[in-house]
Amino acid sequence: MSVLTTQSNTNQIQAVDNKLMPLAPSYIGPTNHSTPQEASISDVLGILNRRKWTILSILLTTLALVALYTFSTKPSYRANATIQIDRSGAEIVDFGRTSQVSTSSDALNDPFFRTSYEMLRGRVIAQKVIDDLSLEESLSPTKSNESKSLKQTVLAWIGLGEDKNKRTSSKLDYTAIFAEKLFVQPIAGTYLVEIFYEAPSPTEARNVVKSVVDNFILFQIESKSETGEYAKQFLDEQIIEAGKRLKEDELTLVKYANENGILGVDEGQTRQVKKLENLDSALVQAEIRRIEAESLYLQMKKAGSVSTVLTNPVITSLKARLVGLEGDYQEMLKTFKPNYPDMQRLQQQINAAKGKLNSEMTNIQRSMQADFKAAKRQEDKIRNELRQFNTTMQNLQDSGVDYKNLKRKADNSNKLYSSLLQRREEVNVASQANTSSISIVEPAITPVSKYRPRPKVNLLVGLLSGLILGLAFAFLREALDKSIKSADDLEKLTGLPILGMIPRVTKSKMKKQLDLIAHKMPQSAPAEAYRILATNIRLMFKTDEDHVMLITSINSGEGKSTTACNIACSYAQMGKKVLLVDADIRNASLHNKLEIPNKHGLTHYLKGEIDLVGITQPVKKIPGLFAITSGRYDVDPVSLLSHERMSYLTTQGGSIFDYVIIDAPPVSGFADSLVLTSLATSTVIVAREEEMDAKSIKGALSQLRRVKNNVAGFLLVNTKNPAVNAKYYAKYHKNSKKELLLENKKPSFA
């Protein structure tokens, strides 16, 4: 107290009591803000360590459910067979076919094979197998439910159980249950098909597969036979109808012939018909000759040459002579000019040959014209004779047209009737020679080992599934959890150091002394942790710098007032002069912790009711420690703390005391700490390890840094892994006491 009651200091306080003093030098805190980084292996391992019980519980639960399902499931056996499906079976006869054969090479997409696969899985085959083997009892769910009650209970518990009321209210569809156990698998690139069936006994599984194959083969043969029977029935009906039509047509033909008197009209019996045929033939021949002569004449007239002219020996010889003369002319032209006598003579010979050739061509053309005219006259003559004869045949032909139509109709009916009879016999033979296009490649055998359950596989799948689910749930919880799990996470998030870690106190005796544990239990682990914090803060500042330290927290109840008391006590134990100020006016607690009166405090000074000397109290049980309590509560603490008197208090306190420690309200929800941090050289944030929230911490830091960047770091309280091990520290002090006692017992040789 003598420090504050000296005459010089008293005069100084009174002289500047109502004046604003300059602020103490500001602490420049860390400027590097944390930047988002990719998760490292250590981060992943940290998450796994924090969530290990979650992962383990999900893993064990999954394994338990899988094991429960596996060992409560009734064993089942699976048999299989392999068959080959061809497009058609062996053909005994190549006629009478009643179905179309596919030519596709893709067995999987061919409609024929797709139809065969669906027939294997169809209700018809299933019903036949169920009837042959009497599988109703085996397929009935009531029998299997008795042995699977435990599994059904588990499935019902997790919401996957079957509604028994719904199952029993409707009639059981055994074919649908059978289809669930039957599996048909085509082998890609082949005509082979594998058939599997799962049953509660190996013998039943083999018998079912064998019955499926046998019934499928029989069904195919019966389908072909049924098609043949339908074809025969259809042909029989058509034959009867065709016979009736043939009889009616023949009767109509005979009646018409008798009524018109044309019973004797047929080939070779009348001279008129013979003559008509001869005239027709002669006319055709005359037309052919006329067309040939006309064609040669027109071609000769238009093109100047035809094939007969080209083969004429006279024309051929003339052309050969002309070609020879022209060749000689061209050869001599290389030596002589056209005016040369020999050249002129040779040219005259060429011209003479051309003239003779043209003359012969003209004669041939005249001859062709004469032949054409003669053929035309012959054709006209025969045509006139035929026209005259047609007039005489008109009446006979008028009556013969209807006769021929009736005869033609009767002939067609006779052909249709004969064709139907022949087709009926072919279908009859072919239907009796039907063969199956299905062959058994690998017959069904009795399975030796059970197919389900497979404990090793199920447990392995359960282990992997549980591990994946556990990891997924753990990382999901980690992503949704906004709290900070460790000191390393806090440092990475804020870029600020952890100045100290106060261990969790479990003993009731130590909890009662926690407010001043550095004074009351100096050899305890929490007291040592507070001394480490005080040392870390002291080493961050220069020796000649004013130390105005603000102690705050994010939320209330995190231990900031206890921290302020113990830091102040630690500095006092180091021989420093410390001023502890309770600026948490709304929730003052330092006077109770220090056991000093709160009659006059900070609010009285800030209102000008009393000076600094009057509110500063010494803590008698802790030498070197002085305190300013909060005083009475005021409705507007922010306006009081913003007064220039508060700035003067920190300035004067920093110049007189080694440390000024201010216990401030929490940052969240109050503006008091923002006002006070502008007056401090450093700010320490107290946080409980299990209640750290990333969003709240970022928001508080942002507010404080906008006012002044002087946040020195964090103090973690109630930590599970503190820097000071309580057991080791207690053991260390115990051993030190023993050594001290032994030293005192040693004899003196002075």
Q: What digits encode the pLDDT tens for the residues 123-170?
A: 888 888 988 888 888 887 655 444 444 445 545 555 555 454 444 434
Q: Across 417-534, where does the E strand assignment appear? A: 438-442, 498-503
pLDDT higher than 80, residue 20: no
Name the 3-class secondary structure at 386.
Answer: helix
Name the 3-class secondary structure at 221.
Answer: helix
The span from the CA of 647 to the CA of 657, in Å, is 15
pLDDT of 667-712, one tens digit each? 988 888 899 999 999 999 998 877 778 888 888 899 999 998 889 8
Question: If DSSP states are collapsed to H, E and C, what string results for 595-618?
Answer: CCCCCCCHHHHHCCCCCHHHHCEE
Buried b (16+ CB within 10 A) or exposed e, 675-698: bbbbbbbbbbbbbbbeebbeebbe
pLDDT for the residue 582: 93
The arithmetic mean of pLDDT across residues 645-656, rounded, is: 90
The secondary structure element, H or E, covering residue 477 is helix 455-480
Q: Look at the chain and count its residues.
A: 750
The arithmetic mean of pLDDT across residues 216-234, rounded, is: 71
Tell me which residue has tokens 């054409």.
372
Tell me which residue has tokens 């006692």.
741
pLDDT higher than 80, residue 174: yes
Cis peptide before 453 (omega within 30 of 0): yes
Residue 601 neighbours by CB under 8 Å, 6+ apart? 582, 588, 591, 615, 628, 629, 630, 631, 632
pLDDT of 353-408, one tens digit each? 888 878 777 777 777 777 777 888 887 888 787 777 677 666 556 666 677 777 78
Residue 692 neighbours by CB under 8 Å, 6+ apart? 483, 484, 490
The span from the CA of 565 to the CA of 517, in Å, is 9
pLDDT higher than 70, residue 585: yes
Torsions phi, psi of 171, nearest 5? -70, 140
Q: Which of 554, 481, 599, 360 is nearest to 54 (CA)?
A: 481
Angle at 470 between CA 468 and CA 476, to 5 degrees: 100
> For 304-340, where are the alpha helices, taking DSSP H only?
307-310, 313-333
The pairing of strands 659-663 and 548-553 is parallel
pLDDT of 465-510, one tens digit each? 989 998 998 888 877 766 676 777 788 888 888 888 888 887 777 8
pLDDT for the residue 1: 37
Neighbouring C-beta atoms of residue 708, cutoff 10 Å: 20
Tell me which residue has tokens 């080939």.
267
Share of the chain above pLDDT 70, in %: 74
Cα separations in angstroms, 446 against 202, 210, 217, 453: 6, 10, 21, 18
Name the 3-class secondary structure at 68.
Answer: helix
The span from the CA of 629 to the CA of 589, in Å, is 8
Name the 3-class secondary structure at 530.
Answer: helix
pLDDT of 341-359, one tens digit each? 888 888 888 888 888 878 7
The arithmetic mean of pLDDT across residues 4-29, rounded, is: 36
pLDDT higher than 80, residue 108: no
The arithmetic mean of pLDDT across residues 647-660, rounded, is: 91
DSSP 27: P
- CATH number assigned to the domain covering 76-224+437-442: 3.30.70.1130
The tally of CA atoms less than 13 A away on the side-chain side of residue 681 is 24
**pLDDT confidence of 663, banded at 50, 70, 90?**
very high
Structure tokens at 334: 């290389």
The arithmetic mean of pLDDT across residues 6-25, rounded, is: 35
Bridge partners, 84 (sequence order): 192, 439
Tell me which residue has tokens 């007291």.
527
Least confident residue range of 189-203, 292-306, 684-698: 292-306
The span from the CA of 179 to the CA of 130, in Å, is 11
pTM (2 d.p.) = 0.46
User: Hey, what amino acid is at 170?
Assistant: S
pLDDT higher than 50, residue 2: no
Is the distance from CB of 553 to CB of 670 less than 8 angstroms? no
Highest mean pLDDT among 416-425, 496-505, 735-744: 496-505
The span from the CA of 142 to the CA of 149, in Å, is 10
DSSP 76: B
Name the 3-class secondary structure at 355.
Answer: helix
Torsions phi, psi of 498, nearest 5? -95, 110
> Was domain 494-733 assigned CATH 3.40.50.300?
yes
Mean pLDDT for all residues in the chain: 76
Cα separations in angstroms, 524 against 629, 726, 740: 27, 7, 18
The arithmetic mean of pLDDT across residues 251-269, rounded, is: 62
